[in-house]
Structure 1
Amino acid sequence: MAHDRHISIAEKYSRKPQAQLAEQLLGGFVYSSVFISCCAFSLTIETYKLAGLPISMPMAVFVFLATLFTYNLSSVYSFVRWPHQQKYKTSRYWWQRNKKLLALTGVASIMLATGMYVYFGLNINLLVVLHLALISVWYTVPIVYKSSWVRPLRSIPLLKVFLIAYVWAVVTAWFPLLDAGIAAWDGEAMLLLLRRFLFILSLALLFDIRDYAYDRSTNTLTIPGLIGVRNTKFISITLLAVYTLLAATSETGEVQLALMASAFVAALVVLFSDEHKPRIYYALLADGAMLVHAGLVYLAFS
């Protein structure tokens, strides 16, 4: 371990300043969760386009901020519980060296999101928002019930990917429709929600593949741990095939082609994924498949 640390430090000082700056900027963009929040923002815009509704920028920005808070919540919790952390300052991982910055980002984003919800009077039932907030917080943070700690939802076997897909589908597909006055149980709204759920679930499975070795070391049961990486990729491809079938039967013209093309791009990311790929592969490509999805749809309407 000491030898590896010596090598990483030597490599750090041997890199050109431009390369170090680029690494810092990329790390800040990706690992601060700004990138994944941009994906949520773009999918929200896509929903308005698919539904033929005028785009509400306050709602899209609200989704961006809520996502930024959710993905930085672990850093907020870490600093609330252990406020005097020192051990990660020399870590080779950007997100560990900048935990304080991530915690501040999380706090600022939830304050801004709350302000936007109130100021713009976003038309989302507060109970819908609160139940998603509960899932998002409990996903990361253990809660106290009857004087006992209840473990986070993410540690419950096999549940993690379904929670991720559910929250993302509701926030990026249902929220915009509800805010526009569309009934929650409207047939087209439910179809869009289902399509978004399937697409996100297919990508969420990849992060279980990424964490396969770690989850095995901690005895956390995930879908790859239960059926293997190869079969998990097969399930992901099957979900994308169902998504493509729904898109083909519910959309027409250039929009239909855009949705099918985005599913094809996502399928390529799935096929080339494995537990040995670096984290940046999943951070840029798996999450980036959502950005491609929204971008292709946006171009189809241009």
Structure 2
Amino acid sequence: MTVIPLSSTSTAEKIAEFIFYGNYFYGICVVAQAIEATLQQGYPLNGWTYYCLAFITTVFYYNYPYVRKYPAESTDPRTLWYKKRYRFIQCNQRFFAFILGVSLIFFLYHYQDSIRKANLIHWFLVLIFPAVATMYYGLNVFSAKYNLRKIGWLKPFIIGFTWSGMVSIYPILFQNMIKGEPYLYTSIGALLFLKNLMYLSVLAMMFDIKDYAADSHNQLNTFVVKLGLRKMIFYIFLPLPLLGLLTFLSYATIHNFHLLKMALMMIPFFLLILAGLSLRKRRTLMYYLIVIDGLMLVKAAFGIVAMLV
């Protein structure tokens, strides 16, 4: 009787690795959070092409470090996944770069009259977030010698700042620019930007726990390296979500949010606290990618539902 060997990795695991290791989940999270932020600011949603390009841009950015140089020897499962699929990722990046390039040319040509009306505030907001994101990996695109990632305590705030701009400001800014309208500063827009900045920065800090040993060895002073896990949980993971929750409650009370809407939008904050407490135990990389990063999608889902009820 012939024995058919079982695959060491199930189909479900392969799909999960493709989505999470390949950074496609980040693209999904960007789209969901952009929809959430647009609804919360009272604007109509952008067309499907905008969200497709937001998805592609995010995946392209996060896959960039794995393409510009061949991954070094490592026991990290994600690095090994990229090493095995290096040619596919290269082709994927080239395809995405082509789409983004063509889309940029089309945008500049089709909306040239509206773009000419853009003021300094428009251009500042357009450029500040890509500039910070570029410096995160390195000032020189051909070398990562100088990059903001080496400033351990600043790293999570850079991630939070860039993501918050992408999901909170860009959807509205895009609508303003194609219509030739000024970008209007609003208190709800500022509050939403800060809320997303705080939430996403805390998630980035949680990821630093995974890299504690490597960061400590490389003398990268992240919060967990400087404070230790216990102090980080009680001095940062608990206070920051609670502060964000209190800020939201103040705003919700002033604007007379009904209880169901308030409850739906508060749930992600409590889940964030529980996720932080869960990291007292050693967790796998996939746990961080699914559970910790998954909180971005959870927050967006509850926020969207809250705006529709």
Would you say same fold, with TM above 0.5?
Answer: yes
- What is the correspondence of 1:190-201 to structure 2 with a 5 Å cutoff? 190-201=190-201
Per the TM alignment, residue 116 of structure 1 is displaced from its structure 2 partner at its CA by 3.4
Number of the residue aligned with 2:263:
257
Which TM-score applies when normalising by structure 2? 0.80
Per the TM alignment, residue 232 of structure 1 is displaced from its structure 2 partner at its CA by 1.9
Which TM-score applies when normalising by structure 1? 0.82
Question: Identical aligned pairs, as a percentage?
Answer: 23
Number of the residue aligned with 2:83:
96
Q: Is residue 91 of structure 2 the alignment partner of residue 112 of structure 1?
A: no
- What is the correspondence of 1:1-302 to structure 2 with a 5 Å cutoff? 16-17=6-7, 19-56=9-46, 57-79=48-70, 93-120=80-107, 121=111, 125-141=122-138, 143=140, 150-181=145-176, 183=183, 185-234=185-234, 235-251=236-252, 252-253=257-258, 254-274=260-280, 276-300=282-306, 301-302=308-309
Per the TM alignment, residue 132 of structure 1 is displaced from its structure 2 partner at its CA by 2.4
Q: Which runs of 4+ in 1 moved over 4 A?
A: 85-88, 120-124
After superposition, the Cα gap between the structure-2 partners of 1:262 and 1:17, relative to the gap in structure 1 and judged at 3 Å, is: same
Number of the residue aligned with 1:11:
none
- Within 2, Cα distance between the matches of 1:276 and 1:22? 23
- Within 2, Cα distance between the matches of 1:114 and 1:189? 30
- Within 1, Cα distance between the matches of 2:270 and 2:103? 36
After superposition, the Cα gap between the structure-2 partners of 1:222 and 1:28, relative to the gap in structure 1 and judged at 3 Å, is: same
Per the TM alignment, residue 174 of structure 1 is displaced from its structure 2 partner at its CA by 0.9
In the alignment, structure 1 segments of 5+ residues that lack a partner are: 1-13, 80-84
- Within 1, Cα distance between the matches of 2:204 and 2:261? 24
In the alignment, structure 2 segments of 5+ residues that lack a partner are: 177-181
**Secondary structure of 2:67's match?**
helix
Amino acid at match of 2:231: N
- Within 2, Cα distance between the matches of 1:192 and 1:110? 30
After superposition, the Cα gap between the structure-2 partners of 1:101 and 1:59, relative to the gap in structure 1 and judged at 3 Å, is: same
After superposition, the Cα gap between the structure-2 partners of 1:231 and 1:107, relative to the gap in structure 1 and judged at 3 Å, is: farther
Per the TM alignment, residue 117 of structure 1 is displaced from its structure 2 partner at its CA by 4.4
Note the alpha carbon deviations across 1:55-91, whole angstroms, 9 max, x for none: 1133322221221111111012215xxxxx7968xx7
- Within 1, Cα distance between the matches of 2:283 and 2:19? 20
**Secondary structure of 1:77's match?**
coil
Note the alpha carbon deviations across 1:16-40, whole angstroms, 9 max, x for none: 3384332222111111000111111
Per the TM alignment, residue 54 of structure 1 is displaced from its structure 2 partner at its CA by 1.2
Give the number of aligned pairs. Answer: 282
Number of the residue aligned with 1:10:
none
After superposition, the Cα gap between the structure-2 partners of 1:39 and 1:263, relative to the gap in structure 1 and judged at 3 Å, is: same
Q: CA RMSD in A?
A: 3.0
Per the TM alignment, residue 151 of structure 1 is displaced from its structure 2 partner at its CA by 1.8
- Within 2, Cα distance between the matches of 1:258 and 1:114? 39
After superposition, the Cα gap between the structure-2 partners of 1:284 and 1:159, relative to the gap in structure 1 and judged at 3 Å, is: same
Q: Report if the CA contact (8 A) 2:161-2:197 is conserved.
A: yes
